[in-house]
Structure 1
Amino acid sequence: MDQKSTTGALVPGQERKSASRAARRQFGWSLHRRVTALCVVVGAVLGLLAVGEALVANANRGHLDTLLTKTGPLRTDAESLPTALVNQQTAVRGYAVSGDRADLGPYNDGLAQEGILIGRMDSLLEDQPVIRRQLHLVRDQAAQWRADVAVPIINATASSGPGAGQALVDEQGRKQFDELRASTDRLQDLVLDLRNEVANKARSTGNTLVLLLILAAAVVILAGVALLISLNRVVIGPVTALAEQVRKVSRGEYQREITRTGPPELAQLAGDVDAMRQRIAADLAEVREARTRIEWVNSQLQKQAEELVRSNRDLEQFAYVASHDLQEPLRKVASFCQLLQRRYAGQLDERADQYIAFAVDGAQRMQRLINDLLAFSRIGRLTTGFTEVDLNQVMSDVAAQTEAAREYAGGELTWSGLPTVQGEEALLTNLLVNLVSNSLKFRRPDVPPRIRITARRVDGEWEISCEDNGIGIEPEFVDKIFVIFQRLHSKDAYPGTGIGLAIVKKIVEYHGGRIWVDLDVTEGTAIRFTLPVGVAADLPELAASAVPGQSGGPDGSPSGQTRDPEGRPGRTDDDSGEPDDPAVDGPGGPQTGGMKESVA
């Protein structure tokens, strides 16, 4: 397929390639090629210097090794050898004078030392034949002197006495020993010449190595200077100029064209930046137009948001006023219905008594609904501020408020390890009263209710659990129980308004926590909620083992309940004047719990 259009224009990829070739023709070598060439040249020079340094260093190391391990010991042994020979001569003369065998000790020691020194020097002179021949000459002359002079004197003295030995000490023997000493002096001179030669070579190779290192350092410095100059000319300067142009564009000069300078790479970069500038300038006009439209839309949304805020505030006020203002007429209806029930009960027919009972029940349920709705609307509106609240003390109040209902059901309430949190004590008390009341309400008919409140610290917050052995809840209903006025059973099976757990959820969220139903329990229901760890309070850590909690059951719970005229535990918290069934609503008024209530 042809790379050009019908008008002869190049495709974008072809345009970039053409621009790159044009930039190379205009600005010469690319930065990559320049840096590569410089690195190759410097690398080659440094490589040659490194090879030379390695060879010189190896030679220097060999000279130093010869100097330390050969010439040094050779010189020491060569200087010790004459001493060993002189000790032999002195001992022989002394023995010839005294005839004492003990005077031959230095002779034997010198002979042994001579053998050691000659053997050690011979092993170090394998690559030095001249010095080795001189060493062998000394060895042979020493052996000849002992055969011609020392041994005869020793034998004559031993057999014939000192006089015979002294008679053999003559000028010929001294002359032969002087020749031996001259040979040892020659050996020392040869060893010293070898040592000086090796030392001179070591100094020469060391100086050469230092020179090569200086040359390598000079090459590196020159390469660095050349690289710095090159970078300043082909990189730093063009980049600075390009940056200045880009800054002008960034300050709003979007119509300013960016010129191309420097090597091909930077020229191509300048072209790309200029293309981006053109796109930005084109998009900016669209953005300005879109901003105008967005500002108009935002103004409309702001008006709608303000209207929603006013509407929500009016609705909240309406709910509060409605529930509050309905109290007075409803109180009259309930009171007069109860008066009719008390005064005319049994005087009318059975159907009239049934109608009056329906009216009384409806009025009482309406009162409970209004009271719960009023309590729900007050959460978060009427606040006293957060303080440190000891949940153990709160549970003592909860136990007192629910004692009558627990005695009626034969239940037990225990708690342990509860912390001190930041919150409103009245709301937290209401929260726990609702949870305990729901557990008492939805109990099993054949098993006394057992309710346990525990807490543990998890990831910077307190997780508080309310567990019971009641009828439980099916998994498909867990999302409904915290919704206001949601019921899972009819009001005849489990009385209540269906707002209890909605109040619990609102209280928990008001304190910055969350609430859920834990389905991983073997029996009953486990409702868990979280509360943030207090900032200002010293929060106690939970004990490693559970501390036995206070019991709110029949075995000594705090008292404080009221009783109705018939002696049944109860409390008249509504305005009807009629006591509620403690098994239904508890001593604290209607403690409804949507925990197991169904949608009626």
Structure 2
Amino acid sequence: LRQACEQLVLQAPRAMDQQSLMRRADGSAQAVSTQRSARQIEGAWYVVERCRPAPGEAATHTESARVPGRNAPIGRLELLVAAINLDPDAVFLIERESLRPLEVNEAACRFMGATREVVLRGDLWGLGTRHATRLEQELAYDRVIARHPEPDVEVASIRGRSGKVAAMEIRRDALLIDGRWIILSRMRDVTQREAAQARLQRFQAAIDQAGDGIVLIDGETMQYLSVNDTVCRMFGYTEEQLMALGPLKVASGTVTTPEVIRQRYLHAIQVSPQLITQELRFTKADGSQFDCEITRRALSIDGKWVIIATIRDITERKAAQSRLEVFRAAMDQVGDAISLWNAETLEYLDVNATTCTMFGHSREEMFSIGLIKVLKGAVGDIQQIARDVVAAYPKVFVHEARYTRGDGSKFDGEVARSAVPVDGKWFIVATIRDISDRKRADAQLKRRMEDLARSNQELERFAYVASHDLTEPLRMIANYTQLLQRRYLDKFDGDGREFLGYVLSGAQRMNQLIDDLLAYSRAGRSMNKPVSVDMNAVVDEVQANLGQAIADKAAVIER
């Protein structure tokens, strides 16, 4: 105790606050908040000890003074008065009947802005109270008396003589002395405390509205110190339920155990102030699961470790990432090369596997080499292409180009480019299809068409020569047959004349067939317009040409 008192003298006038147990005369103990400070009175050092019950404890109040060095030549009453005057709280003793102050300490005089004598005369009634009328003040004191022996405690805005309004914590006790009710009123300026509490409440409200879950964890007990509303919504628990469960139970049961969780928190303390980020899956109160990104950081506050953890629900992000991975896998299987690049910087954003295969580079090489070198083009030309594509949005530009692979070989490609606006920026989506095989097939087809054209020309010439050479013998046969018919027709009997007609008719049909063959060889180049044909006449002609064959086979022609 002596060492503690000496320490208070060394740090005077700063006070020391402490939570402790006070032993009563009956042997029971009470938790109290004790404030000690050293004061020098008439050359002697005294320790002023102010005790108040801890929150939730029964009301009691004591004041005492200890002499750290020697007994001072001062009476006990004067010592008590001196100690009360050193109290930073304003202390009033007020008679209930007259509402006049019986005694005040120096702090009360300072607050009232007047001397002790002026305050005791009662000339400053209305100051130092929040009650506007005498009746209101009487009712307030009657309430204190009705609560006796319990104190009446409130925080109110009080106006001093200077006009300044301060937030004051007022504690009133009713004392019955010689048949009179005396009100012991103590006022403490809590303006800064209330302002700090208001800031804390605003901060807590802001934290509760945060989109991420925020928790504070005691590094020693591994229990929650505080949780915001977002955490409660995430896990589907009330704040009371979460505080009761604790982080070890809330975080375990899905993919890990409480001991693993404990080790993670201890690791955060070991690497403090390093920030640790991790992706985990948690289980809600209803049994459903969600993915989250959790960050932890351990801080030492007043010699105790506190772990601050933020929890962000990334379920949707993970689902989108999964869909993106599926989409990318699908794009990698597409036979066309697909690339996405920035229209301004001309830098690749992404390329599919076909692009890498087509140009003979890995994905990393594509990004390191860059768009300009991959396309073997001038910067100005590609910039102009980008400007043209953006200006034509949403039109798609399609053209053919020749590209060079990484090994120096070349291939023909059909490229389609279109512009895409994203967040105020323009990007180019380019699709390249390797048409080398098609180009080779087109060239081969062209050569064959040219060969076919030459062949047709040769066939036409052959048909013309052949028809001319065949026509001459037929013309001779027909001419002599006609000559026999004119000169010697009467010399033939009926059969002879019939046979002669057959010869002449066959020669004429043969001549017609040769002319038709020649016309058929020119079918693709004829300028004659198609005309309707009597198919019955065609059948008659064919039947006449095949008359002998039909007779030999005893065939029957049906129409």
As a proportion of its length, which structure holds more helix? 1
TM range (shorter): under 0.3
What is the TM-score normalised by the length of structure 2?
Answer: 0.22
As a proportion of its length, which structure holds more strand? 2
